[in-house]
Amino acid sequence: MKKIKLGIIGGGGDSLIGILHRIAARMWDRYEITGGVFNPDFELNKKYAQQFGVDLSRVYPDFDTFVALESQKPKDQKIEVVSVLTPNALHFPMAKKLLENKFHVICEKPLTTNHKDAIELERLQKKNGTVFAVTYTYTGYPIVRHMKHLLSQGHLGKVQKVDIQYYQGWINSVIHDPEKRKGVWRLNPKVAGISSCIGDIGTHAFHMLEYLTGLEVTELLADLNTLYDHNPLDVDGTVLIRLNNNAKGVIRTSQIASGEENNLSVAIYGQKGAFKWEQENPNLLYQLSDSEPRKVIKPGNTYCSDFANDGTKLPAGHPEGIFDAMGNIYKGVAKAISEQKYFDGEFPTLYQGKRGILFIEKVVESHKEGNIWKSL
């Protein structure tokens, strides 16, 4: 099968997320990394590109040159899809220009820094019919997909309570020192947008909740914490939520939960039982019941759904990790670009990215207006 030509913007060797995308893109042999702008410094950009084995003639000094020169190439040579892996504030202008020039887009979360811009991206995408994914990585785990499948089959009955937590601790080592804070773009509103904690990890928790249950959050009430008055963005937040099936729940997030790593934990309670799952042990899905002992469900088994097993590469007992999760999202995007059939939920869509930034906006409004209920 012909490989899809992938361009990457950001994600240089100095970045956190670049390596995850580069390896994920190669995982199912569906893409070739053809070119990009990995870093705004052209010399560093070329240096990284050499390390990744990218043809230097397709490595451009900046984003505008990338779009201008790639757009002129004949169809069979042109980069088809572009991953936007830059800090948040650049997502909108870059994704917009890519859509205007008819590229498919894979964009990091949060999609934009305000809801209005997300609506504009949606308008452009609908006009072009291009494929657009937002990389909420954690929904690519096979067992998460199986949990979604079981919930959609009514395995738990009506969902009546949700509790999604994403706790990190790494900001604890920078937040107390204003000098150290300056080196962290996630704490800078000009780069991160209106939120740090909710924007960076709360948005994962929110997406996971709507993705798994198929429900939508209709109202929320938030209480955020910046820890210091002279720190402009939240580093911790708790959000009460109401869902469109009348269930209630809570999204709990923190970047100052000292010692926590990437503790994304999901608990969904229904009339007939519950599911519990933790990102740090992603191959174990626990099913709880009022009448039976707790069950452990694992990926790669014949009892798993086709959707889950489509994202499993080896027989059961070979653990899936974060690279596999992102690889599965890239695989879904490849199917969509190639006009192959794909599963509902195989990659997070622009609509879901738009929901994510609406959530961030409403959380910040709720907190600022005195912890009041807000409708989404």
Ligand X SMILES: NC(=O)c1ccc[n+]([C@@H]2O[C@H](COP(=O)([O-])OP(=O)(O)OC[C@H]3O[C@@H](n4cnc5c(N)ncnc54)[C@H](O)[C@@H]3O)[C@@H](O)[C@H]2O)c1
The residues of the shown chain that bind ligand X, judged by CB under 6 A, are 9-12, 14-18, 37, 39-40, 63, 85-88, 90, 108-109, 135, 137, 185, 200
Report the nearest approach of ligand X to the CB of residue 321 (Å): 13
Structure tokens, 338: 């190639």
CA 193 to chain centre: 16
Contact (CB, 8 A) for 116 and 39: no
Toward ligand X, which CB reaches closer, 85 or 197?
85
Toward ligand X, which CB reaches closer, 18 or 345?
18
Report the nearest approach of ligand X to the CB of residue 264 (Å): 10
Toward ligand X, which CB reaches closer, 203 or 238?
203
Report the nearest approach of ligand X to the CB of residue 365 (Å): 21
Q: What is the dihedral of CA 316, 321, 325, 330, to 10 degrees?
A: -100
DSSP string, 137-183: GGGGSHHHHHHHHHHHTTTT-SEEEEEEEEE--TTHHHHT-HHHHTT
Give the Cα-Cα-Cα angle 357, 362, 364 (nearest 5 degrees): 95
H helical segments located in the chain: 18-27, 42-52, 63-71, 91-100, 115-128, 142-152, 172-175, 178-181, 189-192, 197, 203-213, 306-309, 322-337, 350-368
Toward ligand X, which CB reaches closer, 83 or 125?
83
Toward ligand X, which CB reaches closer, 40 or 232?
40
Report the nearest approach of ligand X to the CB of residue 224 (Å): 18
Report the nearest approach of ligand X to the CB of residue 292 (Å): 35
**Among 190, 210, 186, CA closest to 198:** 186
Structure tokens, 121: 């991206």
Contact (CB, 8 A) for 235 and 365: no
Toward ligand X, which CB reaches closer, 11 or 202?
11
Report the nearest approach of ligand X to the CB of residue 109 (Å): 6
